[in-house]
A and B are shown apart, each in its own frame.
Chain A
């Protein structure tokens, strides 16, 4: 029954936006977006709000960050310039991360001292990535975005996870910084202590992650979590929560570059932020006990198609 409801929700979502999807194909013949919405300016923000609301529900059910879904899907299905989609995408990821962070920090799931050095590295990358992203040609952005999305899909499919990685001894840097901690694992009813290693490698990887997040306006949870969990050896729960918190800092840095370059328009960004935040809140309540496997598969297929579409349109094939 739940599976049926989820599939119905997905079908309804895509049927509702059928006309908009179809209109994407008209972009080449219509001179402006104004012609597409036929003078009814409110159609666009309302469509974005409803679309991102459902995207928020789906992203929660699939366990995939809303930011990473927003850019490829909205740039594929809405006739909005890629810069404005990326600007809005960063704000979607940022507002979601900011909203979740206070609770995660208070509960001790996100770790501030782990996040501070990693965020600093990621922010340096994001600053350059955002600047580079805004200077590249649209076709090149589409090709690189498509390649990145296909890569992210592969990470979602093949990346391994480790609930509680074994780190026998923290490395010198992490010991100097005093990074580590304890948390109570409710499922096992035990307190788990954790330390980290390979800090230098992780700092370097976070520069690359920040660069990609800034360049494409994507939330970077898909990359943060594997680096925190598999490279540094942070327990999965702490890695997921700290990743969300790191996003709030990295995306702030990148968002400023977009804000300063007129690449953030309230009429696109605010309905997207509101829709996503409301959608994720409803998603948590409605789909809390639903098995996410099916919906995750659907979302990964959708993301893969959006990535391939972006790649092909950038290459001028479609």
Chain B
């Protein structure tokens, strides 16, 4: 599998432990990346649209949530893709350490 783009990777990471709506994803990506990665609304929602089409994430409904917004959660395929990417990154870091880079 090709490496994930930063937008896709961060979006999947933001949904790893719970379903979230778009605004919460934007906030969490900023927090998880310690401000190094900002996902604007254009990037966010075009990526969401693509990942829903790919069946990597899916919208879910929960009563009591802000009705203007939809929650998204990882599908099995999305979780597998995220795990594969984390594995790939881990192997790269291991190689870099062996080479004395990090």
Same complex origin of A and B: no
Q: Which residues of A contact B (CB under 8 A)?
A: none
Q: Which residues of B contact A (CB under 8 A)?
A: none
